[in-house]
Structure formats: structure tokens, C-alpha cells
Amino acid sequence: MSTPKFNEERLMQVLLAPQISEKATAVADKNEQVIFIVAPDATKPEIKAAVELLFKVQVESVQVANMKGKVKRFGRSMGRRSDVRKAFVCLKPGQEINFAEGGAA
């Protein structure tokens, strides 16, 4: 199976931010996964190519979850948080992304 070619400009816009929390850290330690907030229209192959391009690591698999935004109150008015798409990126053994240094370790 050949690797599909993607527009490099598009790949730079796929990953929005890393998800850094206690749960994300626990998942990273246990399953060797890294969690990213991604664009709502991003596909699994695009996410894989973007992570490999930006962090120079090898990706084994990608799982995606669509998180619905919560309804919240702001005083008298009701507001709604925006929907978020999360990508759980499983790295190949021996691969690591260190966000404290700003790149691959």
C-alpha cells in the first residue's frame, strides 16, 4: 500500500494544539499515545502525515473522537462551547514527542 501524498500547506493546518492534561499524560505513559486537538474536517491519514511531518516520528495508528461542546451559563445568558475533534496518535515503539523541548526527542 503506497503512502498518499498530501498538500504540505494543508498538513500544517491539521494539528491545532496538543491536549495536555492529567488524563492525556496517563494515556501517553500507558499506551504510548499522544492526544492532539485537530481540525474538524481532518482525516486519519492526514493526521498521521501531519504528525510525521512536524515531529519527525513514526506513527503506528490514529483514533479519532468527536467531542460535543457543552452548554454553559454566563450569568443570565446561555452559551455553548464549540465542538472539538481529538486525535489519539499511537507512536511506534521507541518513538516519543516531548512538548517541553518543542520537538521530537
Residue 16, SS3 per DSSP = strand
Would you give per-residue pLDDT tens digits along the chain (105 residues)? 445 677 888 888 899 999 988 988 888 888 888 999 999 999 999 999 999 988 888 999 999 999 999 999 989 999 999 999 999 999 888 888 776 665 554
Residue 18, SS3 per DSSP = strand
Domains defined along the chain, listed by start? 8-92 (3.30.70.330)
Return d(Cα 104, Cα 76) in angstroms, integer. 46
Q: Say if residues 87 and 35 touch (Cβ distance below 8 Å).
A: yes
Return d(Cα 29, Cα 35) in angstroms, integer. 12
